[in-house]
Amino acid sequence: AVQEGAAGGSLERHCPTYIYKVVLLGSTAVGKSSLAYRYMKNDFQESLPTVGCSFFTKIIRMESATVKLEIWDTAGQEKYHSVCHLYYRGAHAALLVYDITNKETLGRAKQWLKELEKEFLHDEIVIALVGNKTDLAEEREVPAEEGEEFARSRSLLFMETSAKSNHQVKDVFMAVALQLLQREAEKAPAPRRGQHVDLGESRARTGCC
């Protein structure tokens, strides 16, 4: 994230706020909005199909830093694809969501990965592969190992979740946040990354909490 507005006071150093843009991508009806809803409100409800994109923010306070996630929940239907890239532009992290009871949706998540790899360098974005709907275990089509193995081969974070039964939802966002912070720490001494101006990049910044 880009440093901005930190006037250099010593107070700011030990409690920085990082703002990251996180996009939820994946097939239609795999549970992207439900994951966002569970994470924001800790509840489960039938969602309307997302049109274009929905936006939420979530603040995570940790000992060393405060992380503010800007979560962009995108529409799953392929027809929306043409506008979708507008939403993931400038993202710092992506959750590629599939439905463990529908094998095709994993294939779709892999396609999303390809697309992201075209747009981002490997160290520019944190990507998590998320197998949702573990509450429907008896209908499972994708073994956990398959998702896990694929994620490992591509150095992605991996987690299976259930928005419905509240399984590991918080955890997956937390894992992403931690990885983002870790990358922040790794590159801290190095010069900040390229100044190509785009929407998400310019808003990503540290401030003071």
Partner 1 sequence: AEEVCVRTPLQKQQSLPLRPVIPLVARISDQNASGAPPMTVREKTRLEKFRQLLSSHNTDLDELRKCSWPGVPREVRPVTWRLLSGYLPANMERRKLTLQRKREEYFGFIQQYYDSRNEEHHQDTYRQIHIDIPRTNPLIPLFQQPLVQEIFERILFIWAIRHPASGYVQGINDLVTPFFVVFLSEYVEEDVENFDVTNLSQDVLRSIEADSFWCMSKLLDGIQDNYTFAQPGIQKKVKALEELVSRIDEQVHNHFRKYEVEYLQFAFRWMNNLLMRELPLRCTIRLWDTYQSEPEGFSHFHLYVCAAFLIKWRKEILDEEDFQGLLMLLQNLPTIHWGNEEIGLLLAEAYRLKYMFADAPNHYRR
Residues making contact with partner 1 (CB under 8 A): 28-29, 33, 36-37, 40-41, 45-57, 68, 70, 73, 75, 77, 79-80, 82-83, 86, 199, 202-203
Q: How far is the CB of 154 from partner 1 (least distance, A)?
A: 27
Tell me how far apart the terminal alpha carbons of the chain are, to the nearest angstrom.
16
Least Å from the CB of residue 68 to partner 1:
8
Q: Closest distance between partner 1 and the C-beta of residue 122, in Å?
A: 27
State which residue, 14 or 79, has the beta carbon closest to partner 1.
79
Q: How many CB atoms lie under 10 A from the CB of residue 196?
A: 7
The closest of 174, 83, 166 to 128, measured between CA atoms, is 174
Pick the closer one to partner 1 by CB: 78 or 117: 78
The DSSP element (H or E) to which 154 belongs, if any, is none
Query: Which lies closer to partner 1 via its Cβ, residue 154 or residue 203?
Result: 203
Nearer to partner 1, 57 or 182 (CB): 57
Q: In the chain, at which residue ranges do the beta strands (DSSP E only) sit?
A: 2-3, 16-26, 53-61, 66-74, 93-99, 126-132, 157-160, 205-208
